[in-house]
Structure 1
Amino acid sequence: MKKEKTFNTVNTTSSLEDKLIQNAHIDKQSLFNKYNTSQNGLSTDESILRFETYGKNVITSKQKDSKFRRLLSSIVNPFNLILIAIAIITFLTDVIFVKGNPDFLTVIIIFILVTVSSSISFMQSEKSRNAVEELTNLVTNNSNILRDGKWIEIPIENIVPGDIIKLAAGDMIPADIRFLTTKDTFVAQSALTGESHPVEKFSNISSKDIDIITDLDNIGFMGSNILSGSATALVISTGNHTYFGSMAKTLSGDNATKSFERGVSSISRLLISLTLIMVPMVFLINGIIKQDWLQSLMFAISIAVGLTPEMLPVIMTTTLAKGAVSMSKHKVVVKNLGTIQTFGEMDILCTDKTGTLTEDKIVLEKYMNLHGEDDDRVLRHAFLNSYFQTGLKNLIDLAIINRATKKDLKPLTTRYEKIDEIPFDFSRRRMSVVLIDKDNKRQLITKGAVEEMLEISKFVEINGQVLELTDAYKKFAMATYEKYNKEGLRIIAVAQKNEVPKEHIFSVKDESNMVLIGFVGFLDPPKKSASIAINKLRDHGVRTIVLTGDSEGVTAKVCKEIGISIDHIISGNEVDSLSDQDLKEKLKICNIFAKLSPNQKQRIVKLLQEEGHTVGFLGDGINDAPALHQADVGISVDSAVDIAKETADIVLLEKDLVVLEEGVLEGRKTFGNIMKYIKMATSGNFGNMISVIVASIFLPFLPMLPVQLLAQNLLNDFSQVGMAFDNVDKEYIYKPHKWNSKSVLRFTLVMGPLSSIFDILCFSILWWVIGTNTVQMAPLFQAGWFVFGTVSQILVIYVIRTQKLSIIESRPSKILFISTLFVALIAIVIGFTDIGVAIDIDRLPISFILWLSILSLAYMISAELVKKIYLRRYNEWI
């Protein structure tokens, strides 16, 4: 207990930066003593005690994301805040400072509006959250930990201070650590520093002065990742006590979420601007003409409520949550709701090849000398290289080891001992091991991409003889490589040399004067679902571009089999030679880019975005991380490296590419239903504004009392709840759609005045036909417009929801049909019975049903005709 107490004191009394600096400047034994651990790691019992003390190794905000906080966030949105402000004003004017009996009805209706909106939004968000959390638990990020002297794999969240961890290329650094051993360990920590270049880490005691804490060269930080090399390290801090945890709130968020939020914000600004412009006009016109400024104020406030699209958060949350839940049924984890809509907006999918378009079941097909003849010696050297490397063993390494095991080469490893290694990185595209056998013979064995291997080779082995690598032999080797590469084999070269220094720290410089001995070739067949998925995406307006680090030959064969045009293929070298503008021109016609570096993938994604495309990227390797981060929608798989899963917006738990089409369709359905509501709300609200202004000028009374406007608004809101579950036309989801506030404004300026024309016709019928042309008859006039306004607003939903002939050619969902029918019946009951007395309207004569039917039918027919003209003019509707 005394040791544990000392350990706790260290962690609780040292400031974060001081602790990191102290740990960087002490030797390894002092570090072990400080953290009460050893070279054998913690014991299981000790790790349990520390886990109880420090909790899970996760970042949590200071304010816990409780259900109450999530409910609060559902209530606090711009539209609800407007309603709450109006409710406060109404409470003061109708209850506190009113002369006579206080009137609570208006305040109650506003309270109902806020409650309904917030409750539905909260419930749908919780439903989506629960579904996604259930799947997110299946996405596992593990680390290799030394416990009781044995290396084991545990979830990252179970790591505790004092643990010793093993890291390799592709691993995320799961906590703040002090490196104990390193081998060409390069770390990407741009998430913390903003620097794009990787930094090399060392295990020695830090002696240099630093300007910022991230300059410590023997300290690793949670949130960064290993680009190349390998290392072991001791965990210093976990969770919120890490450097990442201390600054997590200031880190930039998710690109796709920002894209979605920008679209929503532009529409919200448009809606609020219309309200802020028109409401003062209504107030002034009524005040001047009626000379009752208090009543005019209340009427203007009620108009503001009627114009506030308080159901927009509900519709958005419900539709997005519905999409997320639907995707979860396909075992797809959507990390944030906004990604669903962006997925539907995607018009280009960039994808890596290996493991995404292919089966991810690489098989070693050939091991051959430079003549193309089978050669066990080539397999033997490739096996020793793959077996003894400690970095990230990829599918190629595993395929080599599996084939060598079948050839009974496993006992060969007992004759060798590894002295050193030079890990793989994506600039060299090769890796090496230095071995010594029982006869004390030292040997450097390297394998890697063919062109890069030829660059470091000075000799070649032909028919058992080591000869100088002349231009003729180089052409001979390339001819063998190209022959099998065109046949679809993924080829890597194998080389070795025996002149290896005895006492030496090996580095990339030692990869020189190599003897090229042969090639190993692999088959990685395309996924059965790849061709189907790509064709379906193409049918829905999504172009697929392959960005791969693999060779042109293998890539071309795979792409041809899955239906991607191979007419134009550009290599990484050509990409570097092109300016941004020239590369943009190539991107218009080229669908395959081979032998790319990670930065080249990211550059291509960025240039596509600059051309106005919404770009998705599908990848699972460490070399895909920059492009995943750059893309509007980053997509990865559960078997991907840690950094790829962490960077992605969407994680596929099963590698079925057809689910990508499902995601695109869900996104487009979601966007379609959101836009239906937005266009309906803006055009209807704008039309009501025009009608109110006209009525205010010519009528001796208000066309509708504040409480009546609020009641009508409440009914319309209930009818629109079903919009989130509505069907979307197949024609609409054939192509991607983007946020466009100009389109919304154009639609509003056309459909809004159309509704006003029929409002004015309704006013005329009520004034001259029904005879409500005196102040005493105002309650009957208001009853007529209340019923027509509600019914017409409901009926126009059917016109706006589709570019086809409403109901006949495109049927609404059952939920929308039931919600609209139910509310329309309520409005009619209120207007034609004594129930309307509660909101100060008189009972309408039965004869008005005829006029209501004629006006409603005429409005529907006119709206359909305007829709056809609008479609011909602008070639869009929703």
Structure 2
Amino acid sequence: MFKTFSDDARLRELANAAELPLFRAVHGTPKGLTEAEAADRLAQHGDNHVARPTRASVWARVRAGVNSPFIALLTGLCVVFVVVGDVRGAVTVGAMVVLAVGLRFWQHTRSDRAVDALRARVSATATVRRRASDGHTAVTREVPVEDLVLGDVVLLVPGDVVPADVRLVSAVDLMVDQSGLSGETLPERKGVTNTRQASIVDIETICFAGTSVVAGTATAVVVATGSDTYFGTIARDIQGARPASGFDLGVRAVGWTLVKFMLVMVPIVLAVNGFVTGDWAQAAMFAAAVAVGLTPEMLPVIVTTNLARGAVRLAERKVVVKRLNAIQDLGAMDVLCVDKTGTLTEDRVAYAHSIDLYGQPDGEAAEYAYLAVRFQSGPRNRLDEAIADQLAGDEDAVSNNAAYSAVDEIGFDHDRRRATVVVRHDDEHIVITKGDPDQVLPRCAQAWQAGAVIELTDARRRDTEDLVRAYAEHGMRILAVAARQQPARLGGYSEMDEAGLVLVGFVGFVDPVRASTATAVRSLDERGVSVKILTGDNQHVAAFVAGQAGLRIGEVVQGHEIDRASAAHLRRLVTTGTVFAKLTPANKARIVAELRSAGHSVGFVGDGVNDALALRAADVGISVQGGTDVAKDAADLILTERDLSALADGVVEGRRTLGNTMKYVKITASSNFGNVLSVLVASAFLPFLPMLPVQLMVQNLLYDTAQLALPWDRVDREYLKRPRRWQAGGLVRFMLVFGPVSSLFDVTTFAVLWWALGTGSNNDTDPTVFQTGWFVEGLLSQLIAVLVLRSIMGSRPSRQVLVATCVVAFVALALPLSPLAGPLLLSALPLGYFPWLVAILAAYGVAAQLAKTMYTRRTGAWL
């Protein structure tokens, strides 16, 4: 068995191994594997691909839709109805279950298709050195990336995506973009020796799968493939069950609250009704109907409809929803952690300015740098491209360049960290050197300032070094530019000529903060969401970007502090800190988990491999279209544009979704509780059932049908201003206040029907009028409760809610006169009942409004 090298210790050992022990460890040779060896290893260890979550099967999606306490409760009630022989009740409840599960199944399927459409699937190959068999000469050829195995020798050139974790054997000016792993915007130098090893991704002799070659060439040997790569281990870690989000915990709590309430109330109803009537079979059927009455049975449908509507609205704002429940988690979010690169910034190097040695604006440095870029023959890096992009449109710079011609060049290498070109202008040669300030400044004896050459004294040199350091601490990359004029000569130039230079000045570069970032951060703050930066970049860049984004910067916390922090100290760091820098993937996930344990609802935005663990640990993980596949797999939402403004809109959408859902839950649960109280009163005094089970079921069905319009209702602006969560405690309090209010008017209706109209006071009287009277009054009072209690501010209901309410109210009044009256055992109501009905409903509306006002003043809360 060959060993794999995904563990840090083994990878570090290979990173520092000499060539012979290195190839011995991977059972390879510098000449490459034979085709037979490669085939054997491929058969033994499998393809070089990272296992990704497979598309859920049809049955898995159905199970996901059924996995809800409310669905389980409704399924149990359906079984009860079957047992007691109530076919209509079983069919009604079963239809609700099928509808809710079907809606959720449809949305999950739709989301999966949208995510698949975002993934760019391209076939990729790698260049390897292999031999036909032992003794044959090695040849270089292309093989599918999936066919790479441990010990393969690969060749890397600019533009290549590193196909596996590889140890460099030789390298020439190799620069690798590994921002997806480290968070660093600029490419990293890679080579055959290590000078830094603070983090695993900082090892210079290792190139990681999924990173890309920006410049230079290299030969390397594969040390890990597929799920054993650094990339693969992270992908593997996120494939387990994700932790329950705030939404999951909230729904679970509300569901169990209602279940416990039912387990208390239903036996009481059964006992009271059975003792009063003596008909225990009928009492059991009625108790089952009451159980349905206590259950907001349309809740799964309402929730799913709300979420599906939210998903459609978010899609219009360029947000793809993978996990429906994440919409309400977005509304509950009070902390948003974001990776800096590509999220807050544009993930590019842009020209910022050209300055002299005192930091004053001066275009000379940029013009000389442009000359150097134009006449260099080697590959351009991102700084070169930024200079060219900035000055290519400058007519003066372009016209001046026409007077110059190339003479010689001393190319860039990573030891010198500078590059030099020599150009001809008239009869002179100009030596132009650009590079890191600490490499260029020591070669300068003078400086250019205000059109004159001055001596670069020790004091001026110190001031210049302080200037460079200050810019670096503000997140800026500085390039020093120096030059020297001399008479034209024959022969080439060497490093010896990079001396006695005149410091022309400095060119500054930044990763620009997106134009929309500050506005988005301010909008999130206004909505009660605090933003924290979690990045692998250095603390200076992170703090600079935070300032540009409008964040309040306190202490910048670094990864090593997270590693060493005790539990109590970690809690303080994550709750008070705003900017976290030099983080590993585990650091990010730990910060997110600690914020959640502190009671926050946490969102995380990231697009790299190094963000995957934190994406999975958050209540809601958010990636972007251009992100890595592993990040998109771990995310719940995907932004099709890199713009946080969409999230600010999404937060409002999540709160609107939760608000409309909570309207249904609280209003329905309180009305149902009121109905149960009314049933208990009536069962204690009436010789017949106050409402038949089938009537109670139809009443609930009509009411719930009207509530299907709630996802389209308006939500108070005040409700949308701060994070909202599912709260079981608030539900019980709401039920205990508003349930008795509605029950009071039910009992009033009983009194009117019994004494004022005499419908049931005589034992020979048919009780259907009494039952019909409460059927109509109960349904209409529930509809009034929705209109009164749906808003704390008295905002106007949506057109959909008004239409649905009016239609169901008409059906309630017409049903006793329709052909369905017979099967439902309803009868026409006497005209004398309707003035009483109007008065009772009007009084109930006033009482509900007064109770709402007192409730909000007392509790300071509403939905």
Q: Fold conserved (TM > 0.5)?
A: yes
* 1:178-201 deviations in Å (ceiling 9; x for gaps): 98979999999xx9xxxxxxxxx9
Match of 1:703 in 2: 690
Residue 658 of structure 1 deviates from its aligned partner by: 1.8
Among 812, 819, 827, which residue is 2:812 paired with? 827
Counterpart secondary structure, 1:528: coil
How far apart, in 2, do the equivalents of 1:830 and 1:227 lie?
A: 74
Counterpart secondary structure, 1:336: coil
How far apart, in 2, do the equivalents of 1:726 and 1:261 lie?
A: 24
Counterpart secondary structure, 1:355: helix
Among 75, 80, 93, which residue is 1:113 paired with? 93
Among 117, 122, 144, which residue is 1:137 paired with? 117
How far apart, in 2, do the equivalents of 1:133 and 1:832 lie?
A: 49
Judged with a 3 Å threshold, the aligned counterparts in structure 2 of structure 1 residues 569 and 221 are, in CA distance, closer, same or farther, namely: closer
Residue 143 of structure 1 deviates from its aligned partner by: 7.7
Residue 528 of structure 1 deviates from its aligned partner by: 2.5
Counterpart secondary structure, 1:481: helix
Counterpart secondary structure, 2:320: strand
Match of 1:715 in 2: 702
Match of 2:853 in 1: 868
Mapping for residues 674-685 of structure 1, pairs under 5 Å:
674-685=661-672
2:798 is the alignment partner of 1:813: yes
Among 832, 835, 840, which residue is 1:847 paired with? 832
How far apart, in 2, do the equivalents of 1:354 and 1:177 lie?
A: 23
2:789 is the alignment partner of 1:800: yes
Match of 1:667 in 2: 654
Judged with a 3 Å threshold, the aligned counterparts in structure 2 of structure 1 residues 722 and 681 are, in CA distance, closer, same or farther, namely: same
Judged with a 3 Å threshold, the aligned counterparts in structure 2 of structure 1 residues 16 and 608 are, in CA distance, closer, same or farther, namely: closer
Among 290, 296, 300, which residue is 1:313 paired with? 300
Judged with a 3 Å threshold, the aligned counterparts in structure 2 of structure 1 residues 235 and 846 are, in CA distance, closer, same or farther, namely: farther
Counterpart secondary structure, 1:777: coil
Answer yes or no: is the 8 Å Cα contact 2:418–2:435 preserved in 1: no
* 1:230-266 deviations in Å (ceiling 9; x for gaps): 9978899989xx9989x979943345x6332111111
Mapping for residues 678-757 of structure 1, pairs under 5 Å:
678-757=665-744
* 1:356-381 deviations in Å (ceiling 9; x for gaps): 33344532346889777966999999
Judged with a 3 Å threshold, the aligned counterparts in structure 2 of structure 1 residues 112 and 60 are, in CA distance, closer, same or farther, namely: same
Opposite residue 57 of structure 2, the aligned amino acid is D
Among 733, 745, 754, which residue is 1:758 paired with? 745
Judged with a 3 Å threshold, the aligned counterparts in structure 2 of structure 1 residues 585 and 251 are, in CA distance, closer, same or farther, namely: closer
Match of 1:253 in 2: 241
Among 780, 789, 793, which residue is 2:769 paired with? 780
Match of 1:122 in 2: 102
How far apart, in 1, do the equivalents of 2:466 and 2:339 lie?
A: 27
2:445 is the alignment partner of 1:463: yes
Judged with a 3 Å threshold, the aligned counterparts in structure 2 of structure 1 residues 144 and 244 are, in CA distance, closer, same or farther, namely: closer
How far apart, in 2, do the equivalents of 1:312 and 1:277 lie?
A: 21
Mapping for residues 324-339 of structure 1, pairs under 5 Å:
324-339=311-326
How far apart, in 1, do the equivalents of 2:36 and 2:110 lie?
A: 43
Match of 2:35 in 1: 32
How far apart, in 1, do the equivalents of 2:547 and 2:514 lie?
A: 13
Opposite residue 33 of structure 1, the aligned amino acid is A
2:623 is the alignment partner of 1:636: yes
How far apart, in 2, do the equivalents of 1:650 and 1:75 lie?
A: 22
How far apart, in 2, do the equivalents of 1:349 and 1:843 lie?
A: 59
Opposite residue 667 of structure 1, the aligned amino acid is G
Opposite residue 855 of structure 1, the aligned amino acid is I
How far apart, in 2, do the equivalents of 1:822 and 1:494 lie?
A: 76
Judged with a 3 Å threshold, the aligned counterparts in structure 2 of structure 1 residues 649 and 116 are, in CA distance, closer, same or farther, namely: closer
Residue 842 of structure 1 deviates from its aligned partner by: 2.8
Match of 1:613 in 2: 600
Match of 1:838 in 2: 823
How far apart, in 1, do the equivalents of 2:93 and 2:407 lie?
A: 74
Answer yes or no: is the 8 Å Cα contact 2:602–2:619 preserved in 1: yes
How far apart, in 2, do the equivalents of 1:276 and 1:621 lie?
A: 49
Residue 681 of structure 1 deviates from its aligned partner by: 2.6
RMSD (Å), alpha carbons: 5.7
Answer yes or no: is the 8 Å Cα contact 1:767–1:773 preserved in 2: yes
Answer yes or no: is the 8 Å Cα contact 1:327–1:333 preserved in 2: yes
* 1:552-581 deviations in Å (ceiling 9; x for gaps): 776666555554445x45363996698765
How far apart, in 2, do the equivalents of 1:657 and 1:275 lie?
A: 44
Mapping for residues 92-491 of structure 1, pairs under 5 Å:
92-94=83-85, 106-119=86-99, 121-123=101-103, 125-127=105-107, 129-130=109-110, 133-134=113-114, 136-140=116-120, 145-146=125-126, 160-161=146-147, 251-255=239-243, 258-365=245-352, 399=386, 460-463=442-445, 476=463, 478-484=465-471, 490-491=476-477
Match of 2:492 in 1: none
Residue 747 of structure 1 deviates from its aligned partner by: 1.0
Judged with a 3 Å threshold, the aligned counterparts in structure 2 of structure 1 residues 120 and 647 are, in CA distance, closer, same or farther, namely: closer
* 1:57-98 deviations in Å (ceiling 9; x for gaps): 87465x9623x664565467544444444444444443xxxx
Match of 2:57 in 1: 65
Identity %: 33
Match of 2:779 in 1: 790
How far apart, in 2, do the equivalents of 1:280 and 1:802 lie?
A: 34
Counterpart secondary structure, 1:521: strand
Q: Which runs of 5+ in 1 are unaligned?
A: 1-13, 43-49, 95-105, 150-157, 192-200, 204-217, 423-431, 438-444, 496-516
Judged with a 3 Å threshold, the aligned counterparts in structure 2 of structure 1 residues 88 and 873 are, in CA distance, closer, same or farther, namely: closer
How far apart, in 2, do the equivalents of 1:16 and 1:721 lie?
A: 59
Match of 2:184 in 1: none
Answer yes or no: is the 8 Å Cα contact 1:832–1:845 preserved in 2: no
Answer yes or no: is the 8 Å Cα contact 2:53–2:633 preserved in 1: no
How far apart, in 1, do the equivalents of 2:344 and 2:412 lie?
A: 36
Instruction: Pick the structure with greater CA Rg.
Output: 2
Opposite residue 768 of structure 2, the aligned amino acid is P
Counterpart secondary structure, 2:118: coil
Residue 820 of structure 1 deviates from its aligned partner by: 2.3
Counterpart secondary structure, 1:320: helix
Residue 634 of structure 1 deviates from its aligned partner by: 3.1
Residue 667 of structure 1 deviates from its aligned partner by: 0.7
How far apart, in 2, do the equivalents of 1:296 and 1:92 lie?
A: 14
Opposite residue 597 of structure 1, the aligned amino acid is L
* 1:727-780 deviations in Å (ceiling 9; x for gaps): 211111011112211111111111112222122111111111121224543222
Answer yes or no: is the 8 Å Cα contact 1:334–1:650 preserved in 2: yes
* 1:709-735 deviations in Å (ceiling 9; x for gaps): 222222122122112222211111011
Counterpart secondary structure, 2:342: coil
Among 551, 558, 564, which residue is 1:572 paired with? 558
* 1:801-858 deviations in Å (ceiling 9; x for gaps): 21123xxxx1222222222222222222123556322122332212222222222221
Q: Which runs of 5+ in 2 are unaligned?
A: 5-23, 130-143, 182-189, 193-204, 422-432, 448-456, 482-502
How far apart, in 2, do the equivalents of 1:765 and 1:221 lie?
A: 81
Residue 32 of structure 1 deviates from its aligned partner by: 3.4
Answer yes or no: is the 8 Å Cα contact 2:168–2:207 preserved in 1: no
Answer yes or no: is the 8 Å Cα contact 1:359–1:524 preserved in 2: yes
Answer yes or no: is the 8 Å Cα contact 2:417–2:435 preserved in 1: no
Judged with a 3 Å threshold, the aligned counterparts in structure 2 of structure 1 residues 690 and 312 are, in CA distance, closer, same or farther, namely: same
- Relative to the length of structure 1, the TM-score reads 0.70
Counterpart secondary structure, 1:146: strand
